[in-house]
Amino acid sequence: MKINNIETLLIKAPVKKPFKTSLRTVFEVEDVVVKMTTDDGYIGYGEAAETAVITGDIKGSVIDAIERYIKPTIMGMDILDFDNLMLKLDKCILHNSSAKAACDIAIYDILGQYYKTPLYRYLGGYRNSIKTDITISLNDVETMVNDTLDAIQEGFDTFKIKVGGNYKKDIERVKAIRDAAGKDAKIRLDANQGWNAKEAIYVINKLSDYDIELVEQPVIAHDIDGLKMVTDNVPIPVMADESLFSPQDALMIISKRAADILNIKLMKCGGIHNALKINAMAEAAGIECMIGSMMECKVSVTAAAHFAAACHNITKYDLDAAYLLKDDPVIGGVIYNGPEISFSDGTGLCIKGIKS
């Protein structure tokens, strides 16, 4: 089962409404899709998201990394020579986690097909559906409240509220959303590095009466000591996101107890192979994980969902990215029913192709 071709193509999808965080505003998703074929006829799909402000990856760099470094390195390798293949993929170029993730996902897609099973069963098969939260973009208070109420009408009961602008205004946002959503709604906050440590401690303690489930990445990514300072001084669980890319990052965060929860994203860690390593370390340390995504189309979101469904230590799901698109060009993959994400009975990722 040797790799005999790796193609790259661009896909575009507009979002239903602008996606806003403290770092960026997204009007359209434009990602790189990998189509990998083997000499015995298997076709696997992967996807790399352009997220310059988080991973540093842009379309041109992703394509260049694949065409100039990854493809020449792994072409002709047998997918069943798996550990060697993944080692070569990881070592052929430094960083470039999204490009590596796209190829990693395509390899796992082929493995699921080869073993004639949906990927989540091949990886562990713990559950056969998951339930995602939905993101409420950073806007004025009234818009965020209305977006939350709209999401409730669509069946969602868990909300990831984007904060991290003016921290005093953030308090107003959260209070208004809690009042509008009611006491039974689950509210998560995502600051996207938007506060410093002291601001974060102040804001999170002010919001402790509003039944907040967790606060994601309150401080800038490299400030692990600041992240720990926040974690140690607030009553609400703190989750690392942008601070966590590699298994080595996970080891550092876990050893310092700098966060209570880890957010694993395939685009940050380089794909499913490293995601499994991070989750295993977290589980050994008694730390639960969330599966998250960038703004992505359905190939990589499908891969993330299969990984999450396979592992019991993945207890929280933030995979609304494909749901937020106006028209996803990917045929097949996961099935959305409001917040419920389920899988078809096909093999691998069950991606049937890309609309032209």
pLDDT of residue 338: 97
Q: How confident is the model at residue 167 (pLDDT cuts 50, 70, 90)?
A: confident
Exposure of 172 in the CB half-sphere (CA atoms within 13 A) = 11
Decide: 237 and 213 in contact? Cβ < 8 Å. Answer: yes
- Regarding whether 41 and 89 lie in a shared domain, the answer is yes
In tens, the pLDDT along 37-61 reads 999 999 999 999 999 999 999 999 9
pLDDT of residue 141: 96
Find residue 353's DSSP bridge partners. Answer: 331
- Regarding whether 143 and 104 lie in a shared domain, the answer is no
- Regarding whether 90 and 135 lie in a shared domain, the answer is no
Q: Which of 71, 100, 162, 298 is catalytic?
A: 162
- Regarding whether 148 and 12 lie in a shared domain, the answer is no
Res 329 pLDDT > 90: yes
In tens, the pLDDT along 250-278 reads 999 999 999 999 999 999 999 999 999 99
Q: Which of 20, 160, 265, 298 is catalytic?
A: 265
Average pLDDT, the chain: 97
Q: Are strands 186-190 and 212-216 parallel, antiparallel or unpaired?
A: parallel
- Regarding whether 151 and 25 lie in a shared domain, the answer is no
Supply the range of the domain harboring residue 136.
Answer: 121-354
Of 99, 116, 133, the residue at which a domain comes to its end is: 116
Burial label, 303 (beta-carbon count in 10 A; 0-12, 13-18, 19+): buried
- Regarding whether 249 and 136 lie in a shared domain, the answer is yes
Of 116, 134, 167, the residue at which a domain comes to its end is: 116
- Regarding whether 142 and 30 lie in a shared domain, the answer is no
Tell whether pTM > 0.85: yes
Give the CATH number for residue 128: 3.20.20.120
- Regarding whether 129 and 62 lie in a shared domain, the answer is no
| 265 among known catalytic residues | yes
Res 166 pLDDT > 90: no
- Regarding whether 180 and 92 lie in a shared domain, the answer is no
Res 356 pLDDT > 90: no
Give the CATH number for residue 85: 3.30.390.10
- Regarding whether 106 and 90 lie in a shared domain, the answer is yes
- Regarding whether 137 and 100 lie in a shared domain, the answer is no
Of 89, 116, 143, the residue at which a domain comes to its end is: 116
pLDDT of residue 5: 98
| 355 among known catalytic residues | no
Q: How many domains does the chain have?
A: 2
Res 12 pLDDT > 80: yes
Segment 224-253 mean pLDDT: 98
pLDDT of residue 165: 74
- Regarding whether 175 and 287 lie in a shared domain, the answer is yes
Alpha-carbon torsion, ordered 50, 56, 61, 66, to 10 deg: -80
